[in-house]
Structure 1
């Protein structure tokens, strides 16, 4: 069975009322066994002990210095803990989890039998109601219907994750008869929602607070020890963190086609000069030439600051309001 994927790249203001997104570059680390929760509790920033079959946790996996391997959404599916994330951040995180996992009664592996899709847009709920009587919501964000796991993601745009075995998922997606977009559109939405997207170039570069994990409730400061916890606590209570994650957008369409990658530099204007302001984590360029970027900048940067992409003088950027408060 083949699903046709639309190659157009709409801008954020012209998204369809409802669409499917094929998350071909999305995956999960599966942790299962009698000590799955106990083991993960000592490895990640969120409080795994609060995980149920129907809730959703956000979190990060850090090295001993508090630098982030991955940012994930954690759910429980069929008694298996799944750390949902882009495939680009799985490799190092998986290797580190497996390295310490030999001392616990757990099995840790990357999923290979599951397919991931998203249904997004202001009419996404109505579309899913064509097939499902009950849907997850902000109070109960995870619902299991047969072999299908549906995850509601709160934010500016209505979104649901659909997780199932590949054949069943593809059949369902075809039944909806909606336009299916590539994962690039998912990245655009994540950028606008302020959810961190890590590439291999930016893994183990930032502590969780530089990626706003404290603002999206991805860090528990009461759970006790976990790998990197001392650095995370020091940043929180001593106020040493001076950087944060931001969403940016070009002010107008650009005629210049810029090829961007994680680690590229954002500059800010200081008087008549330009100086480094931060680094790009992820990017999306719509077909009409609008640039959407996710970058780590100084946490106190002013919204009136002139910003641009280094070596591209005409790439004027502005900050996009995040759907959460950085002071949280």
Structure 2
């Protein structure tokens, strides 16, 4: 994180751990604001950001990602994943038109791995992949009224709910999920003004509150702790619009297509709650059984002291009679509703 931006955040009450904002002084109230659906804003500058440019960049991305990138060319952000040859999700990401090419936003713990892997596939194509993490400050917005706060941050009149919005201070990209949420990219010199404008309309929150908001939106953040653990249908990328079955070949496509053809899934993403702490990568077991029944994708605390998480679980175990527990825990997990419809079939 840039030293000047860190100073700006701390001057406005942020308490940081490394490049991660723990909170803005009142973590319980921040979590309660998310639970109430109030508008919140947080710093996401610690996440991964690649820019992709060149005359062949669109065809390059088409051959690497699970989703059709053409909508991004026309202004609509695309949720997608990059897969291993075995069809496992290496990284999930948001792709959207930016500057004179595209931006890829994803968990930073996969930055080196993903950047190296994508560059390996460039070969002689006219494609350039650049590390843009230090160049752009990123702010995340969520909750009812997030549109107004995000628009104020970048100086826009009103952001589109499904398209990239460009304005004087920056660029807004809608985030996947059923509720209003946005990612703002702002040049470093404009960032303090953008944050101050946002704070007039949204409560500043730390990373735990932001993670709770994304969990409640049902959108998995597929980072290093679960990399290569799931195929994309198991992580609910299909109901979230992150898979195209018609766009042509890409790395791992055969496994995705075969799963569609077979139809029924054995695992899928669930939203769960626990009275005790949960953490990404933690195994889930059925009480009294040793066999792993799933894995936590991401987790965040609640204002009441409990925790919520997204987890990929075996459907048979999730719907069975034996209670599920996080590895090492002695309290049962509770299944919660997701804010969108899911099925146990692929395709």
The CA deviation at 1:265 is: 1.5
C-alpha displacement of 1:288 = 3.0
Greater per-residue helix proportion: 2
Hey, what does 2:62 align to over in structure 1? 41
- Note the residue ranges of structure 1 that are not aligned, 5 or more in a row: none
1:125 Cα deviation from its structure 2 partner: 2.7
**Does structure 2 retain, via aligned residues, the 8 Å contact 1:24–1:183?**
no
Match of 2:282 among 261, 264, 276: 264
Structure 1's consecutive aligned runs of 4 or more residues displaced over 4 angstroms after TM superposition are 128-131, 272-275
Separation in 2, partners of 1:231, 1:123: 40
Aligned-pair distance for 1:77?
0.7
Q: Of the candidates 222, 227, 233, which is equivalent to residue 209 of structure 1?
A: 233
Query: Which digits, 9 at most, give the CA deviation of each residue in 1:252-299, with x for residues without a partner?
Result: xx4x6x4x4332121224xx6575321111111235311111111013
The match for 1:317 is 333
Q: CA deviation at 1:64?
A: 1.4
State the superposition RMSD in angstroms: 2.4
Name the TM-score, length of structure 1 as normaliser: 0.88
- Distance in 1 (alpha carbons) for counterparts of 2:206 and 2:285: 30
2:292 to 261, 276, 287: 276
What is the correspondence of 1:1-328 to structure 2 with a 5 Å cutoff?
Answer: 2-3=8-9, 4-5=13-14, 6-7=24-25, 8-9=27-28, 10-11=31-32, 14-15=35-36, 17-111=38-132, 112-128=134-150, 130=152, 131-138=155-162, 141-153=163-175, 155-177=177-199, 178-239=202-263, 241-250=265-274, 254=275, 258=277, 260-269=278-287, 276-300=292-316, 301-302=318-319, 306-314=323-331, 316-327=332-343
Hey, which of these two has a bigger chunk of strand by percent?
1
State whether residues 53 and 142 of structure 1, in contact with CA within 8 Å, keep that contact through their aligned partners in structure 2. no
C-alpha separation between the residues in 2 aligned to 1:45 and 1:24? 25
Q: CA separation of 1:168/1:310 partners in 2, compared to 1, >3 Å: closer, same or farther?
A: same
- The CA deviation at 1:144 is 1.0
- TM-score normalized by structure 2? 0.83
SS at match of 2:76: coil
Name the SS for the 1:326 alignment partner: coil
